[in-house]
Amino acid sequence: MRQTTCSLTWLKSLVALMMLAITPSYAYAVGGETRAAEFTLSNGMQVVVIPDHRAPVVTHMVWYRVGAADELRGTSGIAHFLEHLMFKSTDKIAVGDFSKIVSRLGGQDNAFTGHDATSYFQRVAKDRLPTMMEMEADRMVNLRLDEKEVLTERDVILEERRSRIDNNPASLMDEQMNAALYLNHPYGVPVIGWYHEMAKLSREDAMNFYKRYYAPNNAILVVSGDVTPEEVRTMAEATYGKIPSNPDVKPTRTRPQEPPQIAPRRMELKDPRAGNASLTRYYQAPSYVTAKPGEAEALDLMMKIAASGSTSRLYKKVVVEDRLASSASGSYSGYGLDGGTLSLYAVASEGVPLEKVEAAVDLVLADVAKNGVTDAELQRAKSGYLADYVYDSDNQASLARRYGWNLVVGRTVADVEAWPERIAKVTAEDIKRVAAQYLDTKTSVTGYLLPDQSGVAQDKTAAPVTDSVVR
């Protein structure tokens, strides 16, 4: 990624109150109408348009259905490396000029790579949109890579890894835990790549990946802002529509899948750069793509109630009441193509052993799994989520990302716009059921990050502290 959120609490609270007085469907589509329009070009490129005529500005995003989890073994980091190289040159654009041109036109651009997707985007004045489409369509098929430039950019991503991962104990811990969480699936490989494999990435690796995955029939164009579907169709057909489809692109992505997980994993990382001792736990869980109907929404609300923010059960118990931790939080990551995760995190207070913090965390989770949540907690969580949804809908860039992320993993416009209604239908019994099923230590990794005064970072397998109370 070559790449901020603001919080207006009073506005969100006001919106939350408004949400209680209107039907859930109004939150995503006034009068029941679909907000986004979609169509497909003759070459297979999917197009989504989200009109917003309040200002003459547009967000233009191209999403490719490929990410780090699609890499060939031994070439970890190639998806992210290619993202960097896409800013080099074509026959029409000189080396490094892509972002300079966007800037001269008064716009902003960036890109990012994940396990399931790679995306490139610009935010520009409406009259600059045809130019953005021409430039993005050009580098979709006409990328030029000079050997020297490739080697120079490889040094850039290696330095990025050193600064962001290798020099950050928390990032190293996250990387090690993900590698342990997935026994077989490529989600266990870091998006940025393993250093020893990144150091060997070549121009040939990049071009092979580019030619295999960068094609209109493997891409989604999302445009939000001051445009109509008809305007976007005309521009898209004149630019992207001229690119032939790639017959080698597979309609579905096939990846190694996880075997049944039968034992919890634990690890300990000691590092002299670490601050106070911290506890992290990850559970495997289904995503919005893989979950049964209603499960992902219930997991989302469960984690908001149990661990998200200062009003969560975890924070109130471990930080406020017992004073075992200086901070505690958790979340649900549910937008993966092949699965999601539940995450928990706590920083121990001075002098408090992590074993004591972990036991307290387990008690909070066990109570949710055994006794569920209250109606008041559930209603508050729903109102908060729906308020966030409406607030984010007021930002065209957030809208483009919302639709893009969902569609690139195989969900639909209808799925995106039905989310508020589906959240509203979740019951306390639903949350109790998913908590009992997915807060299962057999699918988990627990990590201790400890300050180490010896001056030498080391990781090792830690013996189990206690049997978990969550089954």
pLDDT digits (tens, 9 = 90+) for 47-71: 999 999 999 999 999 999 999 999 9
Please answer whether residues 178 and 190 qualify as being in contact, where contact means their C-beta atoms are separated by less than 8 angstroms.
yes
**Structure-token pair, residue 279:** 């506890």
What mean pLDDT is predicted for residues 309-321?
97
What mean pLDDT is predicted for residues 347-359?
97
Neighbours of 466 (CB within 10 A): 9
Give counts: helices (H), strands (E), the chain.
16, 12
Residue 183 neighbours by CB under 8 Å, 6+ apart? 258, 259, 261
pTM (2 decimals)?
0.89
Judged by DSSP in three states, 338 sits in coil
Strands 108-113 and 325-333: unpaired
From the list 38, 71, 83, 295, the catalytic residue is 83
Domain extent listing, the chain: 35-242, 265-460
pLDDT tier at 455 (50, 70, 90 boundaries)? low
What pLDDT score does 148 carry? 95
pLDDT digits (tens, 9 = 90+) for 136-172: 999 999 999 999 999 999 999 999 999 999 999 999 9
Integer Cα distance of 65 and 167 in angstroms: 31
Neighbours of 122 (CB within 10 A): 26
Superfamily name and number for 265-460: Metalloenzyme, LuxS/M16 peptidase-like (3.30.830.10)
Q: How far is CA 458 from the centre of its chain?
A: 29
What pLDDT score does 34 carry? 72
Residue 408 neighbours by CB under 8 Å, 6+ apart? 63, 64, 65, 116, 117, 119, 220
Residue 102 neighbours by CB under 8 Å, 6+ apart? 108, 109, 122, 124, 132, 135
Q: CA-CA distances (angstroms) from residue 450 to 102, 354, 454, 456?
A: 45, 9, 12, 12
Q: Which of 3-17, 188-202, 443-457 is the most confident on average?
A: 188-202
What pLDDT score does 90 carry? 96
Neighbours of 23 (CB within 10 A): 11
Integer Cα distance of 45 and 217 in angstroms: 5
Angle separating helix axes 129-141 and 97-104, nearest 10 degrees: 170
pLDDT tier at 33 (50, 70, 90 boundaries)? low
Q: What DSSP state is assigned to residue 257?
A: -
What mean pLDDT is predicted for residues 395-420?
96
**Structure-token pair, residue 304:** 């908001």
What mean pLDDT is predicted for residues 398-412?
96
83 is catalytic: yes
pLDDT tier at 26 (50, 70, 90 boundaries)? very low
- The CATH topology of domain 35-242 is Cytochrome Bc1 Complex; Chain A, domain 1 (3.30.830)
- Same fold yes or no, 35-242 and 265-460: yes
Q: What DSSP state is assigned to residue 162?
A: I
The per-residue DSSP string of 341-375 comes to: EEEEEEEEPTT--HHHHHHHHHHHHHHHHHH---H
Please answer whether residues 446 and 279 qualify as being in contact, where contact means their C-beta atoms are separated by less than 8 angstroms.
yes
What mean pLDDT is predicted for residues 282-309?
98
Integer Cα distance of 169 and 411 in angstroms: 35
Q: Which of 6-10, 30-34, 94-98 is the most confident on average?
A: 94-98
What pLDDT score does 149 carry? 95
Long-range contacts made by residues 51-54, C-beta under 8 angstroms, separation at least 24? 51/224, 51/225, 51/226, 51/227, 51/228, 51/229, 52/224, 52/225, 52/226, 52/396, 52/399, 53/226, 54/226
Residue 115 neighbours by CB under 8 Å, 6+ apart? 67, 68, 69, 186, 187, 191, 336, 337
The answer to which of 9-23, 117-131, 154-168, 217-231 has the lowest mean pLDDT is: 9-23
pLDDT digits (tens, 9 = 90+) for 219-273: 999 999 999 999 999 999 999 999 999 999 998 999 999 999 999 999 999 999 9
What pLDDT score does 201 carry? 98
**Structure-token pair, residue 397:** 């860039």
Nearest to 332 by CA among 363, 390, 291: 291
pLDDT digits (tens, 9 = 90+) for 413-423: 999 999 999 99
Residue 277 has, within 13 A of its CA and on its CB side, a CA count of 19
Query: Across the chain, what does the average pLDDT equal?
Result: 90
Neighbours of 367 (CB within 10 A): 17
